[in-house]
Amino acid sequence: MWKFVVRRILIMIPQLVVLSILVFILAKVMPGDALSGLVETPGVDSSTIEDMRTTLGINDPVHVQYLNWIKGLSQGDLGTSYIHQRPVLELLEARLWNTVYLSAAILFLTYLIAIPLGITAGRFHDSLIDKLIVGYNYITYATPLFIFALLMLFVFGFQLQWFPTGGSADINLEPGTFSYYMDKIYHLLLPALSGALLATVGTIQYLRNEIIDTKMKDFIKTAKSKGVPEAKIYSHHILRNSFLPIAAFLGYEITGLITGSIFLESIFSYPGIGQLFLQSISQRDFSVVTALVMVTGVATLIGTLLSDIILSLVDPRIRVE
């Protein structure tokens, strides 16, 4: 088991190198840089701007820039934001955690809703309840997140005023206290619920189909012929086998959540990396954008790593020595 995990982590190293090169190239081929918008600014001389470019290292050969960037990365230095004039790491830290909280909340709520619904639909497939659940799935699949989130915000935030309409915590509360954390959760609920209600589609559909499939398998007949009661057949044989694809998709789910939170964060004015990402792109804040893409990429790799570890825990066939 440990061998498998270590080997799986070693595989990540070349993946990280390739990822970093891709991210760097993509950022470089984007037209303009953080200073191009300043050219037209009155009072700023174009030679001054050229001087600034040299100081910032933008005029260096590409490979030198890449190596400098990697050197910084390996020391935990993500560079300095051109726009904010602050270290990127500092800029990211608070927002990154907010996004992680939001994603975790969405993931938790998604599974909380999707797993019981998926199991019910699969177990009683073609019944009325199954048709209702599949109907719900079609509707949520077809609903765009940015409209649904706006609607949720309008109804539950502004009309009913059950939830706050923006921010991640009340500024009057002392960070670190119990009520501060409760308030953070309170702020999370509405965006997380909006995201989760739509994110359930994949999990419900997969679980349902997988259960219907597994029900027909020969080993279920074997279990039945042993005299195992139906409820136990579900809990001991069908469910564990049906959860395999859900476990396999956990990694992609995590990636999707982190990138998908861009809409949610903008709509709910929630200070996470999504918001920062949009701003940084429009301002050509090169170092922040590359840092963010890098972070998302690493999150993806960690997500797939998690998937593989979970899969190897539940499926003995994957534990390759």
Residue 158 within binding range of other proteins, rule CB under 8 A: no
Rounded CA gap, 276 and 95, in Å?
8
Cβ nearer to other proteins, comparing 196 with 223: 223
Q: How far apart are CA 306 and CA 119, in angstroms?
A: 23
Pick from 133, 223, 262, 267: which binds other proteins (CB under 8 A)? 223
131 binds other proteins (CB under 8 A): no
Of the candidates 256, 257, 225, 219, the one whose C-alpha atom is nearest the C-alpha of residue 240 is: 219
User: Applying CB under 8 A, which part among 87-95, 143-151, 291-299, 308-316 lies near other proteins?
Assistant: 308-316
Query: Binding other proteins by CB under 8 A: which of 225, 282, 320, 321?
Result: 225
Residue 229 binds other proteins (CB under 8 A): yes
Interface with other proteins includes 236 (CB under 8 A)? yes
Of the candidate residues 218, 282, 320, 321, the single one contacting other proteins (CB under 8 A): 218
Nearer of residues 131 and 236 to other proteins, judged by Cβ: 236
> Does 226 help bind other proteins (rule: CB under 8 A)?
yes
The CA distance from 76 to 89, in Å, is: 8
CB of 216 to other proteins, least distance (A): 10
Is residue 231 a contact point for other proteins (CB under 8 A)?
Answer: no
> Interface with other proteins includes 7 (CB under 8 A)?
no
Q: Closest CB to other proteins among 172 and 225?
A: 225
The pair of structure tokens assigned to 82 is 């051109």
Cβ at position 320, least distance to other proteins in Å: 11
Q: Please say whether the beta carbons of 77 and 89 come within 8 A.
A: yes
Choose the stretch contacting other proteins; rule: CB under 8 A; options: 10-18, 135-143, 179-187, 234-242.
234-242
